[in-house]
Amino acid sequence: MGQRSQIYIRIQDNYNEYPKLYAKYYGWNFGERMISRARHGIEYIKSYMEYIYDKYNQEKINRIFDINFDMKDIALTSDLIKEWVRDFSDSDIANDYIFEDTANNDGKLFIDVQKDGTIKYCFADYNLKILTPTKYMNWDCESWKTSNVLTEEEKEICKNNIKYINENATLMTEDELQEFIDYDYSKQIIELANDLNIEIAPEKLRKENFNLQITEQNQDEIDICE
């Protein structure tokens, strides 16, 4: 099966004790589809920023990434955190499974909503190399600008979505991405495990000695879709 990808959304606010993480697995989400979800997801987050602390609004943000507004389609996604608790908590470390071990060939998207309202983001390949929106498209769909698969209208929509992302969110640094992946999400995981009546071994909750493999890159490179 191809077209496997993940989207991670972390929401931090000034009212809840710890951040809320959503970790989503997609079976058919690639190229311009991933770009579209990033654009409309960021736009939706911005519209709810005043009330982002509310758990119902956070769940709406989670679900909005399932919708592809440009293609008028909805993806049926898997919850990687729940999947780990139910099926893999006796074998894999939580963060290992959630961020690394799930099959991937179309990259990842990370969205991090900060307490001050800043939206940090990055795309990444399956080795967790940080990619800007244009670099992501060039990596996942190398000839997308000249492709006969995409119509000229679809290419223009993708370019406009890239422009929106660049103007409305801040690209993560390598350190910020590593912090996102290494963060201790055990409180959220334990709450879910308790709801499911599943006992989790404490040593499976923490990710230790993680070596993030990111190729050196120029963070100052301008990302322009021409």
Q: Exposed, middle or buried: residue 41 (CB in 10 Å: 0-12, 13-18, 19+)?
A: buried
Kindly state whether residue 198 falls inside one of the protein's structural domains.
yes
pLDDT tens digits along 171-197: 999 999 999 999 999 999 999 999 999
- The predicted pLDDT at position 208 comes to 56
- The predicted pLDDT at position 2 comes to 59
- The predicted pLDDT at position 206 comes to 73
- The predicted pLDDT at position 226 comes to 42
Kindly state whether residue 209 falls inside one of the protein's structural domains.
no
- The predicted pLDDT at position 209 comes to 43
Please state the pTM of the whole predicted model: 0.90
Residues of the chain falling short of pLDDT 70: 1-2, 207-226
> Are 132 and 123 contacting, i.e. CB atoms less than 8 angstroms apart?
yes
- The predicted pLDDT at position 207 comes to 57
Taking residue 76's Cβ as centre, other Cβ atoms within 10 Å add up to 8
Kindly state whether residue 170 falls inside one of the protein's structural domains.
yes
Taking residue 94's Cβ as centre, other Cβ atoms within 10 Å add up to 23
How many domains does the structure of the chain reveal?
1
Kindly state whether residue 81 falls inside one of the protein's structural domains.
yes
Kindly state whether residue 212 falls inside one of the protein's structural domains.
no
Query: Domain span at residue 96?
Result: 5-204
